[in-house]
Structure 1
Amino acid sequence: MSTTEADYIIVGGGLTGCTLAARLHQRNPSLIIIIIEAGRDASDNPNASSPLGSFALTGSDLDWAYPSLPDATTNNRVHINNAGKALGGGSTINYAGWSRGNAADYDAWGAVVDDSRWSYAGLLPFFKKSETYFDKKANPEQHGFEGPIHIISTSASDPDRQYGLRKPLLKAWTDIGVKFNPDPVGSTEGISEYLENWRDGQRQPAQKAYGIEGITVITNTRVNRIIFSKGKEERPEASGVQLDDGRLIKAHKEVILSAGTFGTPQILLLSGIGSASALSALGIPVVHDAPEVGQNLFDHFAHFQLWKVRHPEESLAMGNPSWNKPAYFKGMPCDWVVNERVPSNVLEGAEESTQGSDSSLLKAGRCHIESTVIYAPAGIPGIPMDGTYIASSIMLLLPTSRGAVTLASALPSDLPLITSNYYSTKSDVACLIYGTRRMLQVMLETSPGKEYIEGEVAPPGQAELSPSSLDEEIEKRIRATGMSHKHAAGTAAMGKVVGSDLKVVGVGGLRVVDGSVLPVPIGGHPQATLYALAEQAAEIILNKA
């Protein structure tokens, strides 16, 4: 069998693609598997290995940097959607934050698709299978201790990694009523130590953590479209792919799309799977009329704020000359993550579309906002990293706003059109205003906040926010400056575009295994969910589901 044919062709060598390929090969080494990745192997890039270097990867040649269309709901701004364009995908360029969503988030997923494999209990074995958790005394029913991805907390990574704002921030959050949560799995509510998958200060990209030896990897190569032939009962069957240089690669078993939330719908559409009317307008032959392809786009939209510290000489923020302990650079300069529910009286009048459904924001056990403080001006453009500033993020965990991905043209080289539609529902507005008020309270009204924080530094042209700011003033700021955490998902949604077995509806021989299949938003940062998704996908495929 030559490199022009394979049992499985995996389009996209990102986090899920590499994980899936590795697990398929490990279970059955006789399988011929080809990964086709549009980006390069970045193992020779020093910025791709260290926490500090990761700040330089955004907007680099390892980033797709997909631009959105001007977004009417956020002052007609163009949002850049960062996504890994390299072997390892997001696991090569992300900041390595690690967290699961609440059990109730996954239960909503399982309920929406009527398949308990995608509930929390169904995914739990795969969460455990993917991780080696640092605390060997942790609950073995919730954690894995022999997986490829090593997870550690900030303080456990090095005894010298003791940031100056660690204790003050813990006190500030607990002073406003947030409870300490020592192990945020199943239930994430409360303040917990920040978890990450830096390993002794080094990145663990999927292809290295899982190992893809024995698998053919083609880099710097785009897939133009999927090739279909007529199968049983005249149903279209994916039989291979066409590359950007015209070459054809034949698949004996399946083609699997793992090209990401923007890349996967683009390839489906270019291949004739999408809205028949939209495809016909572009001259693309229709293989299957699937109007939901590219719809249901959601992301963790967030409000970032900048704060000036009172005592920069105490080495409270990155950039100070005395911020020089090697341990400080073993991960993100962050100690805590806070997950909170927005009070029901705030949401009851704001939740429009999901109330009473399985994905309702009001269901017990769900958190709506995640708050973090980074000891550097991360996420704030144009601010010097001189030890004077820290940043905060209030992230929307369960957005109800939905956007879309469509084609700009029939040319595979043209990036897709992205309609973000962020912050377009009453519940999204209510959640981020509430979260911003909580952060203002921590920074400006608690005794630790008053001791260490001089005040908020407003963006140019914006008024400074305070606890007395009106809701309208906070909303105006968020519309002017808010941006996503680059956790986009949902554009090949399970239950609409793919079945719960990950097979694309209406055709044969084609599956999707990446974040585009998520039918509903999941809290936390997506790495943990995506590794579990790929782990379960391997089991489903090998068991011929």
Structure 2
Amino acid sequence: MQRDMASSEADYIIVGGGLTGCVVASCLKEADPNLDVLIIEAGADESNNEATKAFPTLFSLLDSDLDWSYKTTPQKNTADRVHPIHAGKALGGGSVTNFQGWSRGDARDYGQWARIVKDERWSYDGLLPYFRKSETFFDRDADAGQHGFEGPIHVTAVSEGPSGRKYPLREPIKEAWLQVGEAFNPDGCSGDLAGVCEFYESWHNGQRQPANVAYGLEGVRRITEALVHRVEFTETHGERIASGVVLADGRRFTARKEVILAAGALRTPQVLLLSGIGPAETLAKFDIPTVIDVPEVGRNLTDHFALYQIYKLRNPERGLALGSPVLSDPVFLQGFPCDWAVNQVVPREILEPALRRDEQYGHTTGDESLLIPGRPLVETLAVYASGGVPGVPTDGSVIMTSVMLLGATSRGLISISSADPTDPPLIDANYFDTEVDKVTLIHGARRTMQALLDTSAAKDYIEAEIPPPGMAALSARSTDAEFEARIRTTGLAHHHSSGTAAMGTVVDTDLRVKGVRNLRVVDASVLPISIGGHPQATLYAVAEQAAEIILQGTN
């Protein structure tokens, strides 16, 4: 059936044309071409913007018109600093602005998720068909039970595939980690994340694969540069039913079947609150009529908090990092300059006392599953570039490391500061609030310094840490207090926000918002815990399964 492209009605209205919104729209339309699917996206369609396509212009996208450029409130655990939070604002969302790292979480992460919500569809095995469906994996000899070879997203190891980049520090960095006791893991995207893993990426032939292009939106109606204000409801026999949305400019759109929120972990809870779904006391404060009192909306915010460090190279004239005239082959600019993701397990003797202290202090987001043997909780990347840090040389004389919490247990809050949809959400991230996060990040940072500064494999290449201005350099022998002080003064998030409309509290396991009908959430908001790895692989699988659940509900 031919639909009027300008119609104010649709079968499904998807609020947010980011990664998950585009995947759900594409899958719904592919499964039933007669469905009328409408995406409403606050950003523009940047498909023809050359800056979004290749790696060299990557950092120019941050704090541009393609970035929401959110700010947190002053954070009490990090010297009252206000933190930037980047989030894609374009058709394709974060897949247009992210760094294209590709890693699934550990199977134990998804196992905890499934136990919390009592639904095995969200376990690793439950999501595995959708992990496989979303990818075209580069290694045709890989385990077909773990990997897909016909999906929309091409996944490759940095050292393999069309760009085949082998950076000069590849083998020394790997050997350094082996010397401190980390094991080599031949496939970190197979449910077992721990160890020294190839850094997988979704750059393909040096080009980005945004969700709106990779999945294709043929036949899907799109309205861009349009901010959704709220969801509207009708009432039948005492039941609230989502009937459509109102835009910030007053336009209205009606949904015949469902409204699907896919605006991201920072914007989705704001839309819910502006729609009257959230803590009643917050809604009353801004004269928003309460549709349903859901205290958990906006709570449970988590992110992959990290410590970034800069290291001075010995004899940089050898061409060891980007910026060196020796490292001039254009192939080295066809993706993220990193060979390995090192996912570290924290020893039980460090972790268990911290978990007990958190229990004493009333922190409940950590549980015994953190102690499961083999579950990695912290990741290190060594990046062969300065990372765009202001004041740091870009001449190939330094590298940067990121030590990132995978299983963060600190929880923050998203709220609103007004009833105006054009005002940004109020973000209290509450980074680095738990003992578990503290000991985990300190352990990961110490081990990173041990590998890079204290091993025979790395000593001929890496000279010392370059500390931030006014601070003393750290080493593997620095005290816990010295590491903690550095983290609190300089630590930043990885912009992997999740959890603010969590499954089990705000949505059910079919992703339906509890207490109303015909309203779902399909984005990182629904993750009830911090999932390890870099989130896009998980979000593609979540969106693929969500589309199937939605279609099953229409039969």
Both proteins in one fold, TM over 0.5 = yes
Output the TM-score relative to the length of structure 1.
0.98
CA drift of 1:357 comes to 7.5
1:454-465 counterparts in 2 under 5 A?
A: 454-465=463-474
SS in 2 for 1:211: coil
Q: 2: CA distance between counterparts of 1:52 and 1:95?
A: 11
CA drift of 1:32 comes to 0.3
Amino acid of the structure 2 residue aligned with 1:53: T
CA drift of 1:157 comes to 2.9
Aligned to 1:414: 423
1:198-213 counterparts in 2 under 5 A?
A: 198-213=203-218
| 2:221 equivalent among 216, 225, 240 | 216
Aligned to 1:396: 405
In the superposition, relative to structure 1, how do residues 365 and 14 fare at CA in structure 2: closer, same or farther (>3 Å)? same
Aligned to 2:440: 431
Alignment pair present for 1:520 and 2:536? no
Q: 2: CA distance between counterparts of 1:320 and 1:289?
A: 58
Aligned to 1:93: 97
* Contact 2:163–2:334 (CA under 8 A) maintained in structure 1: no
CA drift of 1:379 comes to 5.9
Amino acid of the structure 1 residue aligned with 2:232: I
In the superposition, relative to structure 1, how do residues 267 and 355 fare at CA in structure 2: closer, same or farther (>3 Å)? closer
Aligned to 1:445: 454
* C-alpha distance after superposition, 1:332-381 (max 9, x if no partner): 01101101110000001001248898663112341111011000111633
* Contact 2:24–2:544 (CA under 8 A) maintained in structure 1: yes
SS in 2 for 1:56: helix
Identical amino acids, percent of aligned pairs: 53
SS in 1 for 2:296: coil
1:28-107 counterparts in 2 under 5 A?
A: 28-107=32-111
Alignment pair present for 1:486 and 2:495? yes
* C-alpha distance after superposition, 1:252-309 (max 9, x if no partner): 0000000000110000000000001110011101000001000000000000000010
Amino acid of the structure 1 residue aligned with 2:488: R
1:462-481 counterparts in 2 under 5 A?
A: 462-481=471-490
Q: 1: CA distance between counterparts of 2:69 and 2:375?
A: 31
CA drift of 1:44 comes to 2.3
In the superposition, relative to structure 1, how do residues 356 and 172 fare at CA in structure 2: closer, same or farther (>3 Å)? same
Q: 2: CA distance between counterparts of 1:192 and 1:417?
A: 37
* Contact 2:316–2:397 (CA under 8 A) maintained in structure 1: yes
CA drift of 1:470 comes to 0.9
Aligned to 1:342: 346
Alignment pair present for 1:383 and 2:388? no
* C-alpha distance after superposition, 1:191-234 (max 9, x if no partner): 01110000000000001100001000000000011111103x31
Alignment pair present for 1:543 and 2:552? yes
| 2:375 equivalent among 363, 366, 387 | 366
CA drift of 1:450 comes to 1.4
Alignment pair present for 1:168 and 2:172? yes
In the superposition, relative to structure 1, how do residues 11 and 160 fare at CA in structure 2: closer, same or farther (>3 Å)? closer
SS in 2 for 1:472: helix
Aligned to 1:177: 181
CA drift of 1:448 comes to 2.3
Q: 1: CA distance between counterparts of 2:128 and 2:309?
A: 35
SS in 2 for 1:338: strand
* C-alpha distance after superposition, 1:450-508 (max 9, x if no partner): 11011100001211101221110010000000001110100000000000000000111
User: Unpaired runs of 5+ in structure 2?
Assistant: none
Q: 1: CA distance between counterparts of 2:162 and 2:290?
A: 56
In the superposition, relative to structure 1, how do residues 160 and 4 fare at CA in structure 2: closer, same or farther (>3 Å)? closer
SS in 1 for 2:380: strand
* C-alpha distance after superposition, 1:22-59 (max 9, x if no partner): 00000000000000000001122222001121121111
In the superposition, relative to structure 1, how do residues 25 and 537 fare at CA in structure 2: closer, same or farther (>3 Å)? same
Amino acid of the structure 2 residue aligned with 1:13: G
Amino acid of the structure 2 residue aligned with 1:127: F
Aligned to 1:145: 149
CA drift of 1:384 comes to 3.1
Q: Aligned Cα RMSD in Å?
A: 1.3
In the superposition, relative to structure 1, how do residues 10 and 54 fare at CA in structure 2: closer, same or farther (>3 Å)? same
Amino acid of the structure 2 residue aligned with 1:176: V
| 2:312 equivalent among 298, 308, 311 | 308
* Contact 1:108–1:359 (CA under 8 A) maintained in structure 2: no
Q: 2: CA distance between counterparts of 1:50 and 1:289?
A: 45
Aligned to 1:193: 198
SS in 2 for 1:6: strand
* Contact 1:37–1:220 (CA under 8 A) maintained in structure 2: yes
Aligned to 1:239: 243
Alignment pair present for 1:263 and 2:262? no
Output the TM-score relative to the length of structure 2.
0.96
Q: 2: CA distance between counterparts of 1:42 and 1:180?
A: 39
* Contact 2:158–2:164 (CA under 8 A) maintained in structure 1: no
User: Unpaired runs of 5+ in structure 1?
Assistant: none
Q: 2: CA distance between counterparts of 1:358 and 1:28?
A: 42
In the superposition, relative to structure 1, how do residues 114 and 358 fare at CA in structure 2: closer, same or farther (>3 Å)? farther
* C-alpha distance after superposition, 1:125-151 (max 9, x if no partner): 000000000000000010001100000
SS in 2 for 1:350: helix
* Contact 1:457–1:464 (CA under 8 A) maintained in structure 2: yes
* Contact 1:355–1:362 (CA under 8 A) maintained in structure 2: no
